[in-house]
A and B are shown apart, each in its own frame.
Chain A
Amino acid sequence: MAPTMRPVDVTAPRESAPQTRETVFDIKDLKASYGSNVAVRSVDMEIYRNLVTAVIGPSGCGKSTFIRCLNRMNDEVPGFRQDGKILYHGIDLYGDGVDQIEVRRRIGMVFQRPNPFPKSIYDNVAWAPRILGLRKNLDERVEKALRGAALWDEVKDRLKKSALALSGGQQQRLCIARAIAIEPEVLLLDEPASALDPIATASIEELMHDLKTDYTLVIVTHNMQQAARVADRTAFFSLDVDESGRGAGTLVEYDDTGKLFTAPSDKRTEDYVTGRFG
């Protein structure tokens, strides 16, 4: 008869998730609205350094609005209003005296459709550093950024050619290079691979894995499997319809990705990730 054993907790995380996690964003009771339309409400979460944090959820649940609050891109939309606090290393992003340009220098963004400028590859990457006054060693900066985006080898012989001649996947990596050329701390990616074919998507996902060594990444994706593959932590947003029938996006569950996809705490999360409801 086998000796009885103590219970073994096999769900203890094996990988060395950094026990001391540094908070980059501390989001408190965030509410964002365009005019009278509330897009997102009651969001409380902390985003940690050098991790990939994914935001998933059905369409219309405010994922894009949320991520655009983090670098104040929503300021460009007339009628936008933000309540609650977003603390970036303790500083209120929307506080008095905070310059949105400074914010965007430190918190970069890559968009769904690659949007390279109609300039040469070199100029695309060098443009922002030039106008921000980082003119020293521009060539090295450009090369470093292109290497960081895993694009250098493919374009090093044609830096002066038009960026528009690149393939979709290459253009997106160029946009990433462009963003990291000014050495931000955070990279926000709004559905970065949804306009790309599977191979280009895989290269972007691989890149994200490398990028998180130096940057903090927040990615919005409607592809759950992608979130499962790349993210360390995942936040699930869903539409919350109140008594008046109006819906706003809200944070339902936020946890380590492994936990969220094997044993989610909230039934709504379970229903969403298992595909039982769209």
Chain B
Amino acid sequence: MRSRLLRGNWRWMAFSVCLVTLAGSAQMANAEGTDEIDFNRDIRPLLSDRCYACHGPDENHRAGGIRFDQAESAYGEADSGEIAIVPGKPDESELIARIISHDESIQMPPSDSNKKLSLEEIEILRRWIAQGAKYQSHWSFEVPHKSDPPQTTVAGWGQTEIDRFLAARLEKEKLIPSAEADKRTLIRRVTFTLTGMPATIEEVDAFLADESPDAYEKVVDRLLASPKYGEHMARHWLDAARFADTHGLHLDNFREMWMYRDWVIQALNENKPYDVFLTEQLAGDLLPNPSWEQKVASGFNRCNVTTNEGGSITEEVKMRNVNDRVVTTGTVFMGLTMDCTRCHDHKYDPLKQKDFYAMYAFFNSIDGSPMDGNVKDHAPSIYSKEAVEQIASFDQQIKAKKEETQATLAKIDYQDPGPGVDNPEVKAEEIVWIDDAPPEGGAVSGNYNWVAAPEPVFSGEKSAKRTSTGNDQVFFTGAKAPLTIFKGDVMFGYVYLDPKNPPREIMFQWNDGDWDQRAYWGEDLIPYGKNGSTKHRLGDLPEAGKWVRLEIPIDKVKLKEGAKINGWAFTQFDGTVYWDKAGVVTKYGKSPQFKSMVAWSEYAAKNLDTVIPENKQVTEILKKPADQRNEEDGKKLQRYFLEFVCADTQETFDKLRADLKSLTDQRSSVVKDSPTTLIYKEAAKPVKAFILERGEYDQIGEEVTREVPSFLPPMTEEMPRDRLGLAMWLLAPNHPLTARVAVNRYWQHVFGTGLVKTSEDFGSQGSVPSHPQLLDNLAVEFRENGWDIKRLMKRMVMTAAYRQSSDISPEMAKRDPENRLLARGPRFRLDAESLRDQALAVSGLLVDTVGGPSVKPPQPDGLWKAVGYSGSNTVQFKADEGHEKIHRRTLYTFIKRTALAPQLSTFDAPNRESCTVRRERTNTPLQALLLLNDPQYVEAAVALAGRTMDTGGADPVSKIDYLISLCLLDPENQVLRKELESLYFDSLTYFQDNPEAASKLVGKDENPAELAAWAIVCNTILNLDEVVTLR
């Protein structure tokens, strides 16, 4: 066959050229087993990728009446009458004939599909058919079963089950594992793996000194117990949970969510079993009597991006929110790519569009609006635990206080004393505050120009005569006895406008702390205040040539009950004005007092505005003529009268009211000050769900009920049809995916690549596991061991495989470039967070407080503004100040989704817009620029230099020793030593010649040149491959 193909035409030659680059993955797949072709490992990925799009599970796009995902169809007759696969007979199989055909009309895959098969791949297909074309179900959809780990002769690899599986494979591949890494490398590696931080000098020294056989295990146990473990594990989970500090769309406003993040940290530090971890996040709110923590955990379902963009159609936004929950649940817990089934049946996996919307039905009944309102606490949300407890306590006290009021009322045996007892009139009193002089203590600005008769004077001896062109003001402030303002008060003042030279505007202004209470007459010319809000027109100018009393009810100028007036301003624009006595008319806020209910009800019926507006029922009763009120009305009136009016009972009720107000005020202040976090809460009634044709929100199709995908085990009777039932179903022993997907992600965390490389996709388009039996054993045991995450992490880091040296021989680099077979230890660039945390840790800057609101360490100006919506509350970046905030672990850095901090984005951290379970690891010049020049990294280098000068010993050699220990570099590396030394002396010369450069770099110091030279060495160290790599 090969020779025939090669004789064919030029295209095959071109493809064989391309093969050289593509061969890597194919080799891997083949390298895994024996000569026996394995459908799941060797064939399904080929058929899935090249054929399923037209001959797969999707009924709507099936061509030729043939599907290759099912044996019956593949062995049967196609529409053409031909048989695609004749088991045992590749030469009679139309599948092969068409693949090798040069006739474009029948050739498969068709040329416009952009899909090709390599010669090797065709040969594999041939062999599979020759061996009987045996089908298997897709491996990950079958329940995992344990198998006995193989025996191995590899020394030191017989101890753990994991090693035995790995070693068997290495033996088969004839690869020789690497030696164990040296202790220094090992403690650095395991400390990064488990805590995301470098080991300290003390920790390294202790480990080096410990010669007991379980020295390493003791380190592992110590690390697993460290609070930094939970932080580091949380950071990985938060990528998957798409946690962030902003809403992500449009305005991208602040979202307060950090209590969920802290829940994750705590859960992982407490080693909450994975089944509980999953259940509380997926359905914490549905657990019986959910705790505060469980409600917070349900915020997992609220981490999706949201919008409040003007003009958005609510139904469409809602659909997108729900889609994200379904897709995230599919990816994180099942490794299923559900997104594409929004629009149609899955092309490669047996997922139907209906399955998507049946899952959608679990997530579409939230008790809250899909639009986030641009607020930080987009409902449903919850206050801090402390606040929730305080609020509950206040609510109880408020309830008790209200009950006490009712009980007190019930106990009063009221007898109406009859008419004649009460006098409904309350006399108003005029308080003159200014007459001939400002009140005592008032500091005057301007000149009153007091004049006496024969000039016009209204009261006392004098009036203030002022003439101006344009604006003229006289005022005083700081009166010793301020005027207290009561409800219903009326301010007054007398003016006399000169008819020969009238002003164009006059104004009074009162100071109750500010001057924003203004009343004016005439035109709006005086340039103070804002008309309508802090300046109010009371009318035209008064008639000139006579004294006029101007009255200003306090409501007209927004003077508030309880205000204390300490100053008064008299302003005029143009003209001559005489100003005289001014003050307030007050009833001291008093309403008439009554002892007789009959007398009061007669009075109140005529003065309905004296009834407290909240008591509408009482107002309604009072509107009725007295003889038409029934007994019930009478009782209500009496209760109101006793509680709010009756002179004999007010002392009691005033006290109760004051108590109640104090409680509600305290409650409000707790609510106002408490942080919040978004949670999930189910609507009272499940919202109906429908298939949305082509994924369009307004193309409503068949109604669907809550169901799990039909190709997976069904939900049982005892599983409720809600998110809690969904969690139970995911965790059932017969669920093929949940445990596998979880252990694979932890494997990826420890070794750099998952046993299934595509940790987000366990379907037929995903990669096949490098060690399927190992994955299955780990999955089953994870469940059987009570979903114990720390135990699993420990199992992995205790292996010989993990503890190998990560050096790469050229042979290994060629045979296993991705280190899937683990003939060497893990080696990859540190993640963004670990890089920065390391710089902060070795420089001694790190503040290791756990939890709390996110922080904003400095970043270059303008990054938020360059993209932000002008009205967004995250458009302006303002860095936090203070060591306590700017030197926290990077996990706590504020995540604005539309403009991720460069320290994160440059090193492949996802922007948390959608669920991410696997990060890329790139290597770019922008990373070099950041590590070299970012002020935060420079600051760390200078701090590290300072630390070195303080504690690194006397001479440069011992300082370099110190840095090598501190940064866990290879002490045997002579090139490193020599380079750092010569760099130090060259830099020292440079800074001694350029002292101003030294002070620019390190600021004021006793010995700036030396410090600066060490800073250059430290900056260099923080950029070394050995330092930026987990190795």
A and B interact physically: no
Chain A interface (Cβ < 8 Å from any Cβ of B): none
Chain B interface (Cβ < 8 Å from any Cβ of A): none
